[in-house]
């Protein structure tokens, strides 16, 4: 009867996301959903969050949004299951703890904060489109897998992801 979902978190900038971050997030979301994993994001209607959710829905997947607000005002329409926290940035830790593996796309203070929490709580992380400094810094603090991909290649991504899932 059991059927626990495998939940993969996708994190990245919201309003300040670059176009290439969003394109990447869409592909990542689509790829994760194609493998029958659920995509979890911060749930807002912008940036990497919305793009990853949209990608997942395109592939027929199911999506979770962990919303900072106390209602669905800012929710992406591609969220199937809204988890409404009403606790602003304090909800970041929920994104991390609820994800089997965390995929980080792009560069911004919220994203850095979440990657750091992932390392602190020993979650495996795959990083795409980040910066040299962030990668150097985070590699030093990782006790679990911290994988930097120079560019997104579907097959390589899925191999890394599946390996990390098996190890956790």
- Residue ranges that bind a second copy, judged by CB under 8 A: 1-5, 7, 38, 57-58, 64, 66, 70-71, 77-91, 93-94, 97-98, 108-110, 112-114, 116-117, 119-121, 131-134, 136-137, 140-141
Show the DSSP H helices in the chain as ranges: 19-34, 47-58, 92-97, 109-120, 132-141, 154-167
User: What are the residues whose beta carbons fall under 8 Å from the beta carbon of 153, sequence distance 6 or more?
Assistant: none
**Given the complex with a second copy, which of 31 and 99 has the nearer CB atom?**
99
CB of 163 to a second copy, least distance (A): 21
**Given the complex with a second copy, which of 144 and 152 has the nearer CB atom?**
144
Compute how many other C-beta atoms are within 10 angstroms of the C-beta atom of residue 49. 33
**Given the complex with a second copy, which of 27 and 107 has the nearer CB atom?**
107
CB of 32 to a second copy, least distance (A): 15
Distance CA 131, CA 116 (A): 14
CB of 99 to a second copy, least distance (A): 9
CB of 155 to a second copy, least distance (A): 26
CB of 140 to a second copy, least distance (A): 8
Phi-psi region of 47 (alpha: psi -120 to 50; beta: other; left: phi over 0): left
User: What are the residues whose beta carbons fall under 8 Å from the beta carbon of 86, sequence distance 6 or more?
Assistant: 68, 69, 70
Distance CA 44, CA 76 (A): 5
Token duo for residue 11:
């994190």
**Given the complex with a second copy, which of 136 and 153 has the nearer CB atom?**
136
**Given the complex with a second copy, which of 146 and 157 has the nearer CB atom?**
146
């Amino acid at each position: 009867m059991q059927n626990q979902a495998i939940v993969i978190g996708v994190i990245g900038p919201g309003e300040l996301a670059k176009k290439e971050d969003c394109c990447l997030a869409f592909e990542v979301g689509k790829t994760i959903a194609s493998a029958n994993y659920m995509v979890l994001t911060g749930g807002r209607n912008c940036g990497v969050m919305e793009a990853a959710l949209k990608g997942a829905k395109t592939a027929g997947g199911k999506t979770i949004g962990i919303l900072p607000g106390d209602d669905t005002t800012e929710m992406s329409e591609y969220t199937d299951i809204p988890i409404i926290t009403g606790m602003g940035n304090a909800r970041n830790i929920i994104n991390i703890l609820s994800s089997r593996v965390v995929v980080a796309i792009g560069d911004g203070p919220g994203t850095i904060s979440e990657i750091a929490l992932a390392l602190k709580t020993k979650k495996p992380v795959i990083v795409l489109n980040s910066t040299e400094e962030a990668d150097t810094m985070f590699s030093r603090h990782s006790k679990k897998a911290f994988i930097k991909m120079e560019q997104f290649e579907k097959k390589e991504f899925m191999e890394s992801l599946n390996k990390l899932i098996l190890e956790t």
